[in-house]
Amino acid sequence: MTEPDINGPASLFDAMRFFGDTFCEAFDPGGVPRAHWQPLMNALDTIAPSVLAQRQERVRRMRHEDGATFNPFNDTGGRGTPWALDMIPLPITAGEWAGLEAGLIQRAGLLEQILADVYGPQNLIRQGHLPAELIYANPHFLRPCHGILPAGNRYLTYYAADLYRGTDGRFRVLRDYGDHPAGIGYALENRIVISRVFSELYHRTQIRRLAPFFHTFHLSLVERTTLRRNDPGIVLLSPGPESRIYFEHALLSRYLGYPLVEGQDLTVRNGDVFQKKLAGLEPVEAIFRHIADDSSDPFALRRATGSGVAGLIQACREQQIEVVNPIGSGFVDTPVLAVFLSALCRQLTGGDLLLENHPAWWCGNESDRNHVLANLEQLTLMPAMEPDEPPAVSTDRIADIGTAPHRFMARALVQPATAPAWNPDSVGPRYTLLRVFACATENGFTLMPGGLAITAADVPTLLGSAPEQQQSKDIWVFSDRPVTPFSLMGGLQTIDQFKRGSDLPSRVADHLLWLGRYLERAEGLIRLLRSVFRRLSGETRLADIPDLPFLLSLLRAENTIPPVPDGGAPIPRYRELAGQLNAAITNKDRPASVVAVLKRVQEAARNVRDRLSLDSWRVINRLDGFADAPNGDPLDLLDDTLFTLSAFSGLAMESMTRGLGWRFMDMGRRVERAINQTTLIRLGLPRVCMDSSSALEALLEVSDSIMTYRARYRTAFQLAPVMDLLVVDESNPKSLAFQCSRIAGHVEELPRKDPRRYATAEERLALEMLTAVRLLDLSGLDCKKSNDRRAALEKFLKSMEQRLTDFAQQVSAHYLTRVPATPHFSAIRGESQP
């Protein structure tokens, strides 16, 4: 191999020409670019490296804004690991893809035949083609699912496989996935991003689109289960935000139009599956399952899990529900099953496998075991049944194999191909796997033309289960014919009738209600802290700031800063006070700190991710940086965060339809704002008359009403007009009366089961609160006169606090008790957990 001409034009891909002895996707052994890579390489070489670096940064930014992460709760900060996407795609020729397509369709059909036998007559065991250990000692085999006939007699409806290209250039199958294959949503997201970053190149290249595959998936599901073609009852079942790939679930739900549900959203009644909604139970006809086999039904499988649906397996047995994939299809994931596929293919189809397996041996077979023992140092010893939990292996591996040989298998070392990947300022090689996806159709299986390429700097990382150390690529499958544009952005189905004021699952309503409360709680806390920091930022001594004791007393009443110790001064020394205030912002261990409340905002938003617009979700993602903000000016940090929260509120006000989702979120805001305003006034009222008028000014500032007061009254701060503005003025969006009016309006629109028009408990409470605030008499309220008026106002405020708390509990009891109590944060004011 000749060295490159150092005087010739440099290419970004020169580093790939002479890398190692692995198969190179981009160059042949002579260092010549492969024909199908040449157009892509030429296009990238015409772009300056600095511009390419900017585009890679754009890719990263788009991933962050979309919230593409793994496991949002995998660290103490509550943030996920970003989904790393390399901007250089992996092209595959039409001819090579046709060979892969034929091999994978054959493999999926073979695996389906095996599943049909394993969960049916089990002739393969009787005839000795499968060892009994592979069934009865296999955690992937679910005995309660034996004998179940799935819809359309299809035992495998959604399948994925990991492939690698060996040193000889041939593709081999490394792993099979049938339980709940992951990655198709990330593959879709990769395509969306790369097609935008390289829009011109993408559209002038004949690249097969992904949308037709999803369209086929949906139509096949509808036809197989004889669902209603217009508005079929299909849901996407997810474990919830604790899933490490919840982003994928939310994306697929939005893209396919399937409501995103969790196990607590579904219930089985008399063999039928229903979704719990505010107005009652709604039938479900099909479930796109993204939870593990053994977590699908806690009753039948005796599993302590909250992600499944009790009675689901019985509903499947009675053929009342279609589940994709059928429960029990995780048998396909058994690692050692691949050892038997070649023989089973000849037995069941009369032909050979078109795609080879990666070389592997099962220690339960004597000849294989002898081979493994003779070549133990050159092989990788691994569990035969369970890929995620390897058996305990001591230093004496030979003894371990002898003790339980059926539990072990070994496979040859994997030497995958390398593909070009973008480094910080150049292109370098990374080892590569391909994950491809197939779905069942009326005529067999169809393969998604593309998929997910996974890359890593070394083979162990590539084969491991740490996606935060890997990268991904979009796979471009070239077509030898013109590509017809096709998109699912318009939806998968038509409807016969319009639906206004859509119903809402109880769990979603619960999280939206608390999202509104957390947003308002965060805004109120930030405004209060900002008022304090504004006063500390000047040159005035602490003792000379007249309204500082008033503001600090409000913070202490909210448990935001520590109380005054016995015999201590109301205003501590500056350094001590600064430490308390900074802890109130960034201390994650304090439940009343800003960072703790913002974390609750993000958690509530993640639980309703599929209900939020992309712009709203991008605003929520900006809160990620709050905990890691540099030690700069806390006032700037509070201002920026308040601006972000206000942006979300504006988007919610202008973008969300006025359905039940918006109503519950806004009702949460109104309840929290009313409680906050009532508490602030009640706590501040005794000090207002003891201190100067500056306390009234501070109260107006914290309530975000000071400009309104100055424009309306054009006078000094007085108690009666301040109370009028903050309590009874229904035109002021920050007043107590305004909140009560909005609460009453929302309650009137909530669904009712009882056709009789009797007022519900929450309606009566809402009406009582609105009437009480409208009838409140503030005439004669003055600090210089008798305390009777002030005492009456204090009594009214205490009564309103109790009524608001009762109202919130009544709404939860009436509409949200169909789901287990959610551990929402309500300890700041001593509220009981919902």
Distances (CA, A) of 542 to 531, 535, 546, 576: 14, 9, 9, 12
Q: Are 271 and 320 in contact (CB under 8 A)?
A: yes
Q: Are 141 and 376 in contact (CB under 8 A)?
A: no
Q: How far is Cα 215 from Cα 802, in angstroms, rounded to an integer?
A: 53
What's the distance, CA 54 to chain centroid? 27
Among 704, 563, 581, CA closest to 637: 581
Residue 468 in 3-state DSSP?
helix
What local confidence, expressed as pLDDT, does residue 657 receive? 81
Task: Place 166 in a pLDDT band, splitting at 50, 70 and 90.
Answer: very high
The more confident residue out of 570 and 702 is 702
> pLDDT digit string (tens) for 604-615?
988 888 888 888
User: 691 pLDDT exceeds 90?
Assistant: no
User: 367 pLDDT exceeds 80?
Assistant: yes
Q: Is the dihedral of CA 49, 52, 54, 57 positive or negative?
A: negative
Q: Where are the alpha helices (DSSP H) in 184-243?
A: 184-197, 199-204, 211-225
What local confidence, expressed as pLDDT, does residue 16 receive? 72
What local confidence, expressed as pLDDT, does residue 785 receive? 65
What local confidence, expressed as pLDDT, does residue 5 receive? 44
Q: How far is Cα 484 from Cα 540, in angstroms, rounded to an integer?
A: 71
The more confident residue out of 523 and 243 is 523
> pLDDT digit string (tens) for 252-300?
998 998 999 999 899 999 989 999 888 788 899 999 999 999 999 999 9
495: which residues sit within 8 A by CB, 6+ positions away?
A: 230, 231
For range 766-792, the mean pLDDT: 85
Backbone φ and ψ for 325, nearest 5 degrees, come out as -75, 160
Backbone φ and ψ for 682, nearest 5 degrees, come out as -65, -40
> pLDDT digit string (tens) for 90-145?
999 999 999 999 999 999 999 999 999 999 999 999 999 999 999 999 999 999 99
Residue 5 in 3-state DSSP?
coil
| Residue 540 DSSP symbol | S
Q: Is the dihedral of CA 501, 502, 508, 510 positive or negative?
A: positive
| Residue 392 DSSP symbol | P
Q: How far is Cα 257 from Cα 492, in angstroms, rounded to an integer?
A: 7
Residue 530 in 3-state DSSP?
helix
Q: Is the dihedral of CA 344, 346, 349, 353 positive or negative?
A: positive
What local confidence, expressed as pLDDT, does residue 225 receive? 72
The partner residues of 63 in beta bridges, in order of sequence, read none
Percentage of the chain surpassing pLDDT 90? Answer: 50
What local confidence, expressed as pLDDT, does residue 621 receive? 82
What's the mean pLDDT when you consider all of the chain? 85
Residue 600 in 3-state DSSP?
helix
Three-class DSSP labels, 698-764: HHHHHCCCHHHHHHHHCCCCCHHHHHHHHHHCCCCCCCHHHHHHHHHHHHHCCCCCCCCCCCCHHHH
What local confidence, expressed as pLDDT, does residue 492 receive? 55
Q: Are 70 and 468 in contact (CB under 8 A)?
A: yes
What local confidence, expressed as pLDDT, does residue 572 receive? 84
* Element of type H or E holding 273: strand 272-277
Say if residue 389 is exposed, middle or buried (CB neighbours under 10 Å; 0-12, 13-18, 19+): exposed
What's the distance, CA 602 to chain centroid? 11
> pLDDT digit string (tens) for 370-418?
999 999 989 999 999 886 554 455 567 788 888 889 999 999 999 999 9
User: Which amino acid, 585?
Assistant: I
Q: Peptide bond preceding 325: is omega within 30 degrees of 0, i.e. cis?
A: yes
Backbone φ and ψ for 789, nearest 5 degrees, come out as -65, -40
> pLDDT digit string (tens) for 486-517?
666 545 554 444 444 457 888 889 999 999 99
Q: How far is Cα 592 from Cα 605, in angstroms, rounded to an integer?
A: 19
What local confidence, expressed as pLDDT, does residue 8 receive? 43
User: 7 pLDDT exceeds 90?
Assistant: no
Each as own residue / partner, the long-range contacts of residues 744-748 (CB below 8 Å, 24 or more positions apart, any chain) are: 744/769, 744/770, 746/663, 746/664, 746/666, 746/667, 746/670, 747/667
Q: How far is Cα 608 from Cα 222, in angstroms, rounded to an integer?
A: 26
What local confidence, expressed as pLDDT, does residue 734 receive? 93
* DSSP helix, strand, coil percent of the chain (3-state; round to 5): 50, 15, 40
Q: How far is Cα 23 from Cα 7, in angstroms, rounded to an integer?
A: 27
For range 673-701, the mean pLDDT: 84
Among 447, 433, 473, 453, CA closest to 94: 447
Among 731, 811, 727, CA closest to 773: 727
Q: How far is Cα 29 from Cα 19, in angstroms, rounded to an integer?
A: 10
Distances (CA, A) of 674 to 517, 573, 577, 668, 671: 10, 34, 29, 10, 5
Per-residue DSSP letters for 33-74? BPTTTHHHHHHHHTS-HHHHHHHHHHHHHHHHHHT-EE-TTS
> pLDDT digit string (tens) for 419-474?
999 987 788 899 999 999 999 998 899 999 999 999 999 999 999 877 778 899 99
User: 2 pLDDT exceeds 90?
Assistant: no
For range 296-316, the mean pLDDT: 87
- Kind of pairing between the strands at 286-289 and 408-412: unpaired
What local confidence, expressed as pLDDT, does residue 565 receive? 80
Percentage of the chain surpassing pLDDT 70? Answer: 88
What's the distance, CA 706 to chain centroid? 40
What local confidence, expressed as pLDDT, does residue 829 receive? 44
Number of H helices, E strands in the chain: 28, 21
Q: How far is Cα 779 from Cα 720, in angstroms, rounded to an integer?
A: 7
**Side by side, which strands form the sheet with 360-362?**
360-362, 408-412, 379-383
Q: Are 173 and 163 in contact (CB under 8 A)?
A: yes
Q: How far is Cα 641 from Cα 813, in angstroms, rounded to an integer?
A: 33
pTM of the model: 0.84
Q: Are 519 and 829 in contact (CB under 8 A)?
A: no
Q: Are 358 and 174 in contact (CB under 8 A)?
A: yes
User: 4 pLDDT exceeds 50?
Assistant: no
What local confidence, expressed as pLDDT, does residue 230 receive? 58
